[in-house]
Amino acid sequence: MNTSKPVRVKGWIADSYVLEPFPSVIQGVEEKFVLKIHPEEGSYIFDQIEERVTQKKLEAFEHRFEDPLLSEMEYTNHYQDRLFDGAKIVFETLRKPSLTGNLKRVQHDEELIGKFVEAVGHIQILKGGNAFLSVHLIDEAARSYEDLDPFK
């Protein structure tokens, strides 16, 4: 399994902080950009992501002494992964993700709610051993199932 390949999720935007970052309530902690998507593919996408995250954690733990950022990593469950929020897949990043196509014209995060997109990012493992999905690109996408739309 190639855990370095991008994670691609198609679905409807449920929550968006990609134009204006999610405000941090803790002083000194950087604000982050957050995207939450209701996936089109159904529940098996959650299992696929969890499987890839588990494999990525094992790889990171095995190679932790080769990477100075991960040298203190513990393979424990001290910290919870930030992958899902109920039936939504959560992407986070400290860098503003790129919007493509007509999405470039959007001025406010609220305008993105309900849009059907493909989010492209990577699995990131922190030194505490917990994982999150970064997002780099948010692209307009064609729906596979025309009749399915949770926002109608």
CB–CB of 122/67 below 8 Å?
Answer: no
Q: Where are the domains of the chain?
A: 7-18+32-140
Per DSSP, the three-state class of 55 is helix
> At residue 21, what are phi and psi to the nearest 5 degrees?
-65, 155
CA distance 67 to 49: 24
Q: What does DSSP assign to residue 40?
A: S
Least confident of 12-16, 77-81, 110-114: 77-81
pLDDT at residue 73 greater than cutoff 60: no
CB–CB of 40/87 below 8 Å?
Answer: no
pLDDT band at residue 97 using 50, 70 and 90 as cut-offs: very high
- pLDDT single digits (tens) 22-70: 877 777 778 899 999 999 988 899 999 999 999 998 887 776 656 655 5
